[in-house]
């Protein structure tokens, strides 16, 4: 769900998708692939990791391929593809997990790197592929040697992209204007913490939760090169970053801050939300509001009545009827007292405090069975062309 827009790295993704024709709707990957650091400097080491999420899962083979192109600074063309590595780990070699390959010399300036990790389980027909594209610093494709791009023209930087932007859920991380105060660091020294936190949200948030992990090839994550602001003292007013015309293709906007707000905030109409840096529980909770239209499942929470895939109700019969329809046990149903609704009551089908929509903070639980229904439904919508 986004507007058509051209980016050099998109072309690479389209080629990749065309070549492999990979539609992996049925796959529930037992592995997670991610690089480190998430937005590397040029010529600095980058590691490529495959992590294991299920101890019962047995591998027979892992293939890693890494390629990159540099983005031509005077046009949106790219230079020829460079192959960095093609390597296979066989079961007979004993595959140690996580499988981590370190590329010590790193990549050039303005490189667009793509890595594919083909995972072959014992049953060969169950093989699937992680395919990820990211940029190296500074990634301003239209920049010329003479002129710095003005702030309002800067494009979001792909840090973990897996699909064409027109067929994916595009999520933008924006540094909230209070982040530079983090640990009282001067200048841009806060940025490494911001990038680390973004990696944490991707790896131990979106790619760890079983319902969002199932959509591992439908998420694109970007970092905005321009800050944004949330005015928490004036009751929920988000200020768009100065490059607001460049970020219209994104589906949701995570403003990462470091203040101890008394609560996190999502503005549903614009899909902007706040999350404290490294608080992956808060991040996944607010993401549930912004991307999947989910309501709160805790006392004094918010009831969202117009969701096509609801997770809370102010009427017990409607909740029971929905439970039957989606085949979720109504025995989980809990009456949450004093929710912020007219009837002063709210029924939920997810186990009480057993779903991230009922919790928040640093630690995390998965989306509960009722909320998974919404995740699946909306991810289908995002991935429609």
Q: Which stretch binds Zn ion (CB under 5 A): 3-11, 13-21, 195-203, 293-301?
A: 293-301
Check if the beta carbon of residue 375 is closer than 8 Å to that of residue 212.
Answer: yes
Residue 287 binds to Zn ion (criterion: CB under 5 A):
no
| Residue number, 40 or 368, with CB nearest to Zn ion | 368
Beta carbons within 8 Å of 16's beta carbon, 6+ residues apart: 114, 116, 131, 133
Q: Shortest approach of Zn ion to residue 372 CB, angstroms?
A: 8
Residue 290 binds to Zn ion (criterion: CB under 5 A):
no
Q: Which stretch binds Zn ion (CB under 5 A): 35-43, 70-78, 269-277, 357-365?
A: 357-365
Give the count of residues interacting with Zn ion (CB under 5 A): 7
Distance CA 108, CA 71 (A): 10
Check if the beta carbon of residue 231 is closer than 8 Å to that of residue 49.
Answer: no
Q: Shortest approach of Zn ion to residue 255 CB, angstroms?
A: 15
Q: Which of 251, 296, 366, 373 lies at the binding interface for Zn ion (CB under 5 A)?
A: 296
Q: Which of 112, 119, 371, 375 lies at the binding interface for Zn ion (CB under 5 A)?
A: 371
Query: In the window 322-351, what residues touch Zn ion (CB under 5 A)?
Result: 350
| Residue number, 190 or 292, with CB nearest to Zn ion | 292
Check if the beta carbon of residue 365 is closer than 8 Å to that of residue 354.
Answer: yes
Q: What are phi and psi of 161, to 5 degrees?
A: -115, 135
Q: Which stretch binds Zn ion (CB under 5 A): 67-75, 84-92, 222-230, 311-319?
A: 311-319
Residue 228 binds to Zn ion (criterion: CB under 5 A):
no
Q: Shortest approach of Zn ion to residue 254 CB, angstroms?
A: 14
Strands 157-161 and 252-257 come out as unpaired
Cα dist. 99→33, 63, 122, 259, 278 in Å?
A: 9, 10, 17, 37, 25
The two most distant CA atoms of the chain are separated, in Å, by 67
CB atoms within 10 A of CB 4: 9
Q: Which stretch binds Zn ion (CB under 5 A): 37-45, 181-189, 202-210, 368-376?
A: 368-376
| Residue number, 281 or 368, with CB nearest to Zn ion | 368
Residue 159 binds to Zn ion (criterion: CB under 5 A):
no
Q: Shortest approach of Zn ion to residue 280 CB, angstroms?
A: 15
Which one, of 58, 45, 145, lies nearest residue 103 by Cα? 45
| Residue number, 169 or 355, with CB nearest to Zn ion | 355
C-alpha radius of gyration, the chain, whole number: 21
Distance CA 227, CA 218 (A): 26
Check if the beta carbon of residue 246 is closer than 8 Å to that of residue 165.
Answer: no
Residue 355 binds to Zn ion (criterion: CB under 5 A):
yes
Residue 368 binds to Zn ion (criterion: CB under 5 A):
yes
| Residue number, 178 or 373, with CB nearest to Zn ion | 373
Q: Which residues bind Zn ion (CB under 5 A)?
A: 296, 311, 350, 355, 357, 368, 371
């Amino acid at each position: 769900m986004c507007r058509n827009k051209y980016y050099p790295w998109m072309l690479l993704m389209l080629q990749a998708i065309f070549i492999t024709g990979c539609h992996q709707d049925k796959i529930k990957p037992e592995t997670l692939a991610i690089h480190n650091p998430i937005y590397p400097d040029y010529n600095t080491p980058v590691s490529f990791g495959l992590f294991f999420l299920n101890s019962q899962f047995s591998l027979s083979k892992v293939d890693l391929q890494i390629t990159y192109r540099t983005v031509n600074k005077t046009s949106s063309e790219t230079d020829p593809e460079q192959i960095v590595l093609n390597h296979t780990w066989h079961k007979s070699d004993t595959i140690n997990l996580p499988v981590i390959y370190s590329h010590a010399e790193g990549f050039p300036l303005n490189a667009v790197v793509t890595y594919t990790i083909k995972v072959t389980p014992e049953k060969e027909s169950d093989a699937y592929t992680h395919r990820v594209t990211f940029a190296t610093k500074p990634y301003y494709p239209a920049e010329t040697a003479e002129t710095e791009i003005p702030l309002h023209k800067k494009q979001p930087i792909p840090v973990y992209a897996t699909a064409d932007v027109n067929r994916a859920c595009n999520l933008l991380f924006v540094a909230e204007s209070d982040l530079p105060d983090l640990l009282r660091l001067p200048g841009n020294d806060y940025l490494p913490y911001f990038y680390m936190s973004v990696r944490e949200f991707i790896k131990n948030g979106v790619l760890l939760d079983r319902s969002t992990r199932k959509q591992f090839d439908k998420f694109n994550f970007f970092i905005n090169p321009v800050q944004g602001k949330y005015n928490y003292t004036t009751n929920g007013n988000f200020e768009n970053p100065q490059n607001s015309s460049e970020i219209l293709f994104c589906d949701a906007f995570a403003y990462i801050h470091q203040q101890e707000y008394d609560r996190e905030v999502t503005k549903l109409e614009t899909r902007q939300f706040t999350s404290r840096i490294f608080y992956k529980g808060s991040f996944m909770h607010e993401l549930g509001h912004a991307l999947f239209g989910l309501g709160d499942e805790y006392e004094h929470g918010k009831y969202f009545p117009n969701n096509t895939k609801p997770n809370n109700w102010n009427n017990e019969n409607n909740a029971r009827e929905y439970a039957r329809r989606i085949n979720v046990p109504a025995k989980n149903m809990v009456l949450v007292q004093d929710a912020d609704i007219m009837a002063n009551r709210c029924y939920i089908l997810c186990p009480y405090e057993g779903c991230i929509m009922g919790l928040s903070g640093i630690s995390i639980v998965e989306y509960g069975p009722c909320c998974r229904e919404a995740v699946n439904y909306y991810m289908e919508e995002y991935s429609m062309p």
